[in-house]
Amino acid sequence: DTAVSQTPKYLVTQMGNDKSIKCEQNLGHDTMYWYKQDSKKFLKIMFSYNNKELIINETVPNRFSPKSPDKAHLNLHINSLELGDSAVYFCASSPAWRGYEQYFGPGTRLTVT
């Protein structure tokens, strides 16, 4: 069984569109994250939720909005997509929000044309 899953795996869309990426974890973890990995492989955190509560909100455009309907799910909605949003987006989870390893999903490669 996949521990952290993301859909879709690939997303190709045009500038100005709105899209969502979904993430689910079946590990029973309390904390979930969204990361963005750019073309140089630099991995930067965007958001983190602990027990459905937003605890990390990095400096990202407010076109990005996370939503956590329950502890096992964390979705990312992106409005008015721009070329610079092209990247690989990773969801991750950890047992708690401090001091633990993180388990990553397979990534969603977003290409904005």
Judged by the rule CB under 8 A, the positions of this chain that interact with other proteins are: 4, 40-45, 48, 55-56, 58, 90, 92, 97-107
Residue 24 Cβ vs other proteins, minimum distance, rounded to whole Å? 14
Residue 51 Cβ vs other proteins, minimum distance, rounded to whole Å? 15
Residue 4 Cβ vs other proteins, minimum distance, rounded to whole Å? 8
Tokens of 83: 């070329």
Instruction: Give CA–CA dist 25/103, Å, rounded.
Output: 9
**Among residues 13 and 102, whose Cβ is nearest to other proteins?**
102
- The label of the residue with tokens 């996370």 reads 66
Closest CA to 96 of 33, 34, 46, 45: 33
